[in-house]
Copies of this chain bind each other. A is one copy, B any other.
Amino acid sequence: MRRSKRLVLLSKFLSDNPNRIFTLKYFGDKYDAAKSSISEDLNIIKDAFHEAGEGTLETIPGAAGGVRFRIKRPVEVIERFLAELSNILSDRSRIIPGGYLYMTDVIFSPEYSSKIGEIFAQLFVDAEPTCVLTVETKGIPLALMTARALGVPLVVARRDSRVTEGPSVNISYISGSSRRIQNMALPTRGLSEKARVLIVDDFMKGGGTARGMSELVREFGAEVVGVAVLVATAYPEEKLVKKYTSLMVLEKIDAERGEVSLKPVKIPIQKEGI
């Protein structure tokens, strides 16, 4: 196969399989090329991805080593995207009677959910999550796209245990905002006790749901390595989880005046070379 075609196929493959390690031998066999040729291809791809701000191509030494593509966008690019997203979501036509904000089309869109998932993945990849957890329903697209970008499985807690999913661990928790008792269930085969869990959700007000998910994780003897939400409300300031990351802060919805006050956060990550 000629170099130009290998470059095309390797670029697509790496992009489709982020955060996973592949050996040079694997690619050599796949594309019927010498390891030295693959190595040169990977250098070209590494430079191109880096210069275009797509991400890094890292070489992992050792017996389990190989090469790994990680999505890593420059902070300015992420902040520009969040500013654009805040604008879209602040449109007055999105105000719903009762003072809610219609975000469903955005968080369910493949285009936005994949970009948001890639940002979550970038922010939490160093915590080395081995799975992503959310609770049905609206967090699922963001959580799935985060799991995809991290190359790990997705686990979804249900509001009730389901006969089709077998035995489950069930918890009750108090919703932070409505103060109502809610239920959450996860099949016993859903999480191992060695799991390092990244919790993802679309929205956080009181933080009760995220706290419920944390408790569920602890019931399995597993560990929460992060909590990521797209939008958190500014009030109450004290959430029921200590540490969380939100990409946008919702300060106020003024239904009378038709004003939404939604702001992107400053991304708390450093720029790094490769």
- Could you list which residues of chain A lie within 8 angstroms of chain B, going by C-beta atoms? 3-5, 7-9, 11-12, 15-16, 44-45, 47-49, 51-52, 54, 96-98, 100-102, 104-105, 108-110, 113-114, 136-137, 140-141, 144-145, 147-148, 151-156, 158, 163-166, 187, 189-190
Contact = CB atoms under 8 A, between A and B. Distances in A.
B109 A153 contact: yes
A100 B168 CA distance: 15
- Complex A-B, nearest 3 residue pairs according to Cβ-Cβ distance, in ascending order: A110-B148, A8-B48, A5-B48
Contacts of A49: 8-9, 12
Given A8-B8, A8-B11, A140-B140, 13 more contacts: A4-B4, A7-B8, A98-B163, A98-B164, A100-B165, A102-B166, A108-B144, A108-B155, A109-B154, A110-B145, A110-B148, A137-B156, A137-B158
A58 B70 CA distance: 29
A12 B11 contact: yes
A114 B48 contact: no
A5 B51 contact: yes
| Residue of A45, A144, A189 contacting most chain B CB atoms (<10 Å) | A144
